[in-house]
């Protein structure tokens, strides 16, 4: 089957990630921290673009298109992002190459590493005076406030949609033969979830960390409320709307799929 080699590649990637965590946890956590840092610094630029271009009819388009740079950096530097790992480990677990119990362990470790990375960047921006310089009505602060004042079901649904799209971008990038095509796919597909305002838990970590350390009005409990439901949604979207179906519709035995239709 055409997509079978990519399923095997994704499953092998999941196995390698698991082996790195178990055999060299410090190196794995370093990659997770870096992913949180990369995404958070790009996120800060995203909010600044949103704010500075808010009067332009193309402002939201430009800001949303830029955000894909964050995922591109993560993919090209082999950093570890929780949301894309929802897909990778779901594929390897569906293929029987990793267990779901160990998968959850890796997701937790990666999530915590991403959080540390977000906090590091937010702390550096605070030390640099970049957060203190932002007005109270800056897009970063109003955006954070909007995110935490949504209904739980809304956040959950937006979380599903966000990581469904992000993991589709990663899945499509697996098929790209050259780096330019891979960059284009990542940026263009990730644009969808940003432009539509869906909820990405790791991006939200950066937003909330900057808001809490800056002049934002949200509280820690507000941030945790959003992150809880956004994270659950991200797992559903990445693992069960992309990872598991990716493996299921591309079985190792091509006759398995044809016999299922007889």
pLDDT band at residue 9 using 50, 70 and 90 as cut-offs: very high
Structural domains of the chain in order of their starting residue, each with its CATH number: 4-248 (1.20.1080.10)
Per-residue pLDDT at 1: 59
Evaluate whether 51 touches 125 at the Cβ level (below 8 Å).
Answer: no
pLDDT tens column, 174-232: 999 899 999 999 999 999 999 999 999 999 999 999 999 999 999 999 999 999 999 99
Average pLDDT over residues 11-37: 98
Distance CA 135, CA 231 (A): 29
pLDDT tens column, 154-171: 999 999 999 999 999 999
For the chain, what is the total number of helices (H) and then of strands (E)? 12, 0
Average pLDDT over residues 89-93: 98
Distance CA 258, CA 245 (A): 16
Per-residue pLDDT at 254: 55
Q: What is the largest CA-CA distance in the chain?
A: 66
Least trusted range by pLDDT, from 94-98, 136-140, 248-252 = 248-252
- Report the interhelical angle of 152-173 vs 220-235 (nearest 10°): 50
Six-digit token pair at 158? 């937006």
Distance CA 161, CA 196 (A): 10
Evaluate whether 122 touches 209 at the Cβ level (below 8 Å).
Answer: yes
Per-residue pLDDT at 259: 40
Per-residue pLDDT at 2: 74
Evaluate whether 142 touches 214 at the Cβ level (below 8 Å).
Answer: no
The pTM score is 0.94
What percent of the chain lies above the pLDDT cut of 90?
Answer: 93
For the cut 50, the answer to whether the pLDDT of residue 36 exceeds it is yes
Sole residue written with tokens 């002049």: 215
Evaluate whether 118 touches 40 at the Cβ level (below 8 Å).
Answer: yes
The mean pLDDT of the chain is 95
Distance CA 75, CA 120 (A): 20
Per-residue pLDDT at 102: 97
Q: What is the DSSP string of 94-117?
A: HTTSS-HHHHHHHHHHHHHHHHHH
Evaluate whether 74 touches 81 at the Cβ level (below 8 Å).
Answer: yes
Evaluate whether 169 touches 145 at the Cβ level (below 8 Å).
Answer: no
How many other β-carbons are positioned within 10 Å of the β-carbon of residue 28? 21
């Amino acid at each position: 089957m055409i997509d079978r080699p990519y399923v095997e590649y994704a499953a092998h990637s999941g196995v390698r990630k698991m082996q790195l965590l178990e055999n060299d946890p410090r190196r794995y956590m370093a990659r997770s921290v870096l992913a949180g840092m990369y995404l958070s610094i790009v996120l800060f630029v995203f909010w600044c673009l949103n704010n500075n271009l808010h009067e332009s009819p193309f402002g939201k388009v430009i800001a949303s298109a830029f955000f894909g740079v964050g995922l591109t950096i993560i993919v090209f530097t082999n950093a570890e992002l929780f949301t894309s790992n929802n897909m990778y480990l779901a594929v390897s677990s569906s293929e029987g190459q990793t267990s779901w119990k160990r998968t959850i362990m890796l997701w937790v470790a990666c999530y915590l590493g991403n959080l540390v990375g977000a906090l590091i960047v937010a702390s550096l921006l605070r030390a640099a005076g970049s957060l203190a310089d932002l007005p109270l009505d800056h897009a970063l602060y109003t955006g954070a406030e909007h995110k935490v004042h949504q209904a739980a079901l809304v956040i959950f649904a937006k979380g599903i949609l966000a990581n469904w799209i992000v993991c589709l971008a990663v899945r499509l990038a697996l098929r790209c033969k050259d780096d330019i095509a891979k960059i284009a796919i990542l940026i263009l597909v990730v644009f969808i979830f940003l432009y539509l305002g869906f909820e990405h838990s790791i991006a939200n970590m950066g937003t909330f960390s900057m808001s809490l350390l800056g002049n934002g009005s949200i509280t820690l409990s507000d941030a945790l409320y959003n992150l809880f439901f956004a994270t659950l949604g991200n797992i559903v979207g990445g693992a069960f709307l992309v990872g598991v179906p990716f493996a299921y519709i591309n079985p190792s035995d091509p006759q398995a799929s044809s016999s299922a239709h007889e």
